[in-house]
Amino acid sequence: MDNIFLLSKFDKAESTIKPWAVAQLFTAGEFVYHKNCGSFFERRCALKRFCDFSNQSYEEYTGEQYEEGIDDYC
């Protein structure tokens, strides 16, 4: 298995400070591992990180120009 990156939103987003997250799944031998790649206040910032890890352009993936968000500064 290659690296798989996941973009997710917590179910109880109203009780979570940063409701968006990016995670990585990968294998080593017979084991499957997961790694936290960050949590985010805004969807677009999480999606930007997801695209970065996936070697994709945010603009090509979404069809939108990326505008900086609070997650770019903290």
Average pLDDT over every residue of 4-12: 89
Q: How confident is the model at residue 17 (pLDDT cuts 50, 70, 90)?
A: confident
> CA-CA distance, 65 to 13, in Å (whole number)?
26
Q: How far apart are CA 53 and CA 46, in angstroms?
A: 11
pTM for the whole thing?
A: 0.82
pLDDT in tens, 44-67: 999 999 999 989 999 999 999 999
- Measure Cα distances from 15 to 1, 36, 46, 48 in Å: 34, 20, 18, 23
